[in-house]
Structure 1
Amino acid sequence: MTIVTSESEQFTDIAANDWPLNAWYVAAWDHEVGRSLRPCNIAGKPVVLYRTTDGEAIALADACWHRLVPLSVGKLDGNEVQCGYHGIKYDRDGKCTFMPAQETINPSAGVHSYPVVERHRFVWVWPGDASVANPDLIPDLFSNGHPDWVGDGDVIPVSANYQLVLDNLMDLTHEEFIHTSSIGNEHLSVAPFDAVHDGNTVTVTRWMRDIPAPPLWQYMLNLKFPGYSGLVDRWQIINFMAPATISLDVGVAIAGTGAPEGDRSQGVNAHVLHTMTPTSAKSCQYHWAINRNFAVESPRVTKELKRGVANVFAEDEAMLNAQQAAIDANPGYDFYNLNIDAGGMWVRRIIASLIAKERS
């Protein structure tokens, strides 16, 4: 695919089935990994997850050394995984500990063990070179689990390339047209924005002043300021962290109370977290969460916001799946970019640079 900008600049996009391997990807929510074998796909690699009896999360290649049968259809025997086909066992490091009908174990027998880190309520797996796996490179999603923030989220299996999801999130003007009943209104596409990049991050900032609050934001604002129905100042700060994580710092405040200058006390603030794990050229696992620092004592609000945001993302999912189908039906089609695509273009350049660096 070729990307064409409005200024006629062209560059060749990376292949649809390409993604950095030397990176951290979310495999699951931490509560989803327990004393059972959980199959997943991390950057195109079949992986099986489980916890040891002491609570450590383990990620092994989901393919037995002997005949490549998925280990996830086997069982746990203490802290070891036993293949369901011939009973071969592997420890937490992937080393073979038992072979049927023989005492001597082939020294080459084993399966790959992937680096795992639990942070921000997620289980992160590094599918690339384990010798360079650095936990400091895990994206900062601090509000997921921070005592001053509460929230919840879910995972969406998207039938579209992960880069299409990143495109969607780096340009939120689509809210005006897709999410008209919840978070969108006509002030999005006319508001100016600023896009900057630094290293492997991109930030897009947009302020909309003296506007009516969209329905979902009106609901949230009234949780803190019951009865207020006047104009608001709204902000969207989109933070991309390579290779596939985006944190949205979003909110509304009573108009003219100083939010653009840094005083958000007369408003409500949410962090909407998104992290994509590519599973194939045309699919990804999309983990998301919405966290807030207001009405933190109310489980009811947590459930209502999760349900409301899930409905919003279902609209995105339908559009992304349709876009992927259209791409498949039009091979070789050139994408054209508008000014609003500036952040997304930098994201694609960063991803392409990371892949090129790995292959050099």
Structure 2
Amino acid sequence: MSTPSTKAPIYPRNTWYVAASAAEVTDKPLGRQICGERMVFYRALEGRIAAVEDFCPHRGAPLSLGRVCEGKLVCGYHGLEMGCDGKTIAMPGQRVRGFPAIKSFPVEERYGFIWVWPGDKEAADTALIPNLQWHDNPEWAYDGGLFHIKADYRLMIDNLMDLTHETYVHSSSIGQAEIDETPCKTETIGDSEVVTSRFMEGIEAPPFWKMALRSNGLADDVPVDRWQICRFTPPSHVLIEVGVAHAGHGGYEAPDAHKVYSMVVDFITPETDGSMWYFWGMARKFNPGDASVTAAIKQGQHKIFSEDLEMLELQQRNLEDYPERQLLKLNIDAGGVQSRRVIERLIAQEQAVVAEVAVA
């Protein structure tokens, strides 16, 4: 059972996070910590997804070490059976119906992911799950993966909302000097979306994008226009429109016949204050039927994000070792800074509601 933290919260709870890919939850329960809560995900009757605390009320054993039998979660220690609502159902030779219920969590399977709401169950609204336009769309292809990273999830948001690091961290794949040399624009749309964009014209495509051009039957040795449009939405989702088009055909607005266009998918889910689950992938709108292209892109992305993983974990170590250090803020940090402000506002709103309830 999770121990309440005395630290100020760093992530909102009344929101949907990606907890797992749908493929991860099969016939066995899956244990995963989300926002400090140890949860277990499993498939109940007819494959419906369910999530409860990863804590057996009998002896405190992790339910994720159990099994699923006829839609019921069975503890692997003494056979206690749990329902989707967190209430005990039965136990061999024992009367357990009076046991207090453990927590259950609103959970939804959609777009190939398992989404969980770790906060107030009454506030959960499935309409707030973002729409992923490429899912099951024959014009698109998607694949991705998962990293566990020992770093504050906000560091990944900073990383993704400022792509100037590509020139240095990813110099052999997607980095190039023109990223540094081209100004980026950052704006906040409404009260929650932050967009950072950069458009480069008449440049040489870096290695990753040369591969993408060739895979779509386009020349890779001519000047291209390149774009990066990073969109942050709460609680910690970053979707990045990326691509290149042969120069002189309209850049971002170029017809499909002259460009390769993709959406980098980043769902960042806090595990604890100092660790995260990072669900990454790429949805592409070119040559969607070629499985070899999908595999090559996934392999390339894995390498790129592995480079980020090493940087972020060592950055986290430095920040923990030197908490008194004041970090510099530059104009390139605007996307991350504004995204953090959105997060802080949401947390403040949640804490104000908690305070009101406590006073009442």
TM-score by length of 2: 0.92
Distance 2:34 2:252 in 1: 39
Partner of 2:321: 329
What residue identity is the alignment partner of 1:347? S
Measured against aligned partners, the alpha-carbon deviations of 1:149-177 in whole angstroms (never above 9, x if no partner) come to 10200000111110000000000010011
Partner of 1:140: 131
Q: 1:157-176 to 2 correspondence within 5 Å?
A: 157-176=148-167
Distance 1:53 1:345 in 2: 44
Measured against aligned partners, the alpha-carbon deviations of 1:293-317 in whole angstroms (never above 9, x if no partner) come to 1111111111011001100000111
Partner of 1:153: 144
What residue identity is the alignment partner of 1:19? Y
Partner of 2:283: 291
What residue identity is the alignment partner of 1:121? G
- 1:90/1:110 contact within 8 Å kept: no
What residue identity is the alignment partner of 2:267? T
- Please state if 1:188 is matched with 2:179: yes
- 1:117/1:123 contact within 8 Å kept: yes
- Please state if 1:310 is matched with 2:296: no
Distance 1:289 1:260 in 2: 21
User: Which of residues 318, 326, 344 is equivalent to 1:352?
Assistant: 344
Q: 1:164-243 to 2 correspondence within 5 Å?
A: 164-198=155-189, 199-243=191-235
Measured against aligned partners, the alpha-carbon deviations of 1:97-150 in whole angstroms (never above 9, x if no partner) come to 1145444621x5222111111122111000000111111221333224432210
Partner of 1:249: 241
Deviation, 1:94, is 1.6
CA-atom RMSD in angstroms: 1.6
Partner of 1:7: none
- 2:245/2:254 contact within 8 Å kept: no
- Please state if 1:89 is matched with 2:78: no
Deviation, 1:95, is 1.5
What residue identity is the alignment partner of 1:76? V
Partner of 2:17: 25
What residue identity is the alignment partner of 2:122? S
User: Which of residues 97, 109, 116 is equivalent to 1:105?
Assistant: 97
1:189 counterpart SS class? helix
What residue identity is the alignment partner of 2:346? L
More helix by share: 2
**Which stretch has the larger CA shift, 135-144 or 230-239?**
135-144
Distance 1:157 1:302 in 2: 22
Structure 2 residues without counterparts, runs of 5 or longer: 1-6, 353-360
What residue identity is the alignment partner of 1:195? T
What residue identity is the alignment partner of 2:236? A
Distance 2:30 2:96 in 1: 30
The structure showing larger relative contact order (alpha-carbon pairs under 8 Å, at least 6 residues apart) is 1
Partner of 1:57: 49
Residues 116 and 79 of structure 1: is their aligned pair in 2 closer, same or farther, counting only changes over 3 Å?
A: same
Task: Give the count of matched residue pairs.
Answer: 345
Distance 1:170 1:16 in 2: 24
Distance 1:61 1:255 in 2: 54
- 1:154/1:287 contact within 8 Å kept: yes
Distance 2:66 2:96 in 1: 22
- 1:44/1:280 contact within 8 Å kept: yes
- 1:99/1:105 contact within 8 Å kept: no
**Which stretch has the larger CA shift, 272-281 or 88-97?**
88-97
What residue identity is the alignment partner of 2:150? S
- 1:258/1:264 contact within 8 Å kept: no
Measured against aligned partners, the alpha-carbon deviations of 1:41-76 in whole angstroms (never above 9, x if no partner) come to 111110111112401111111011233221112222
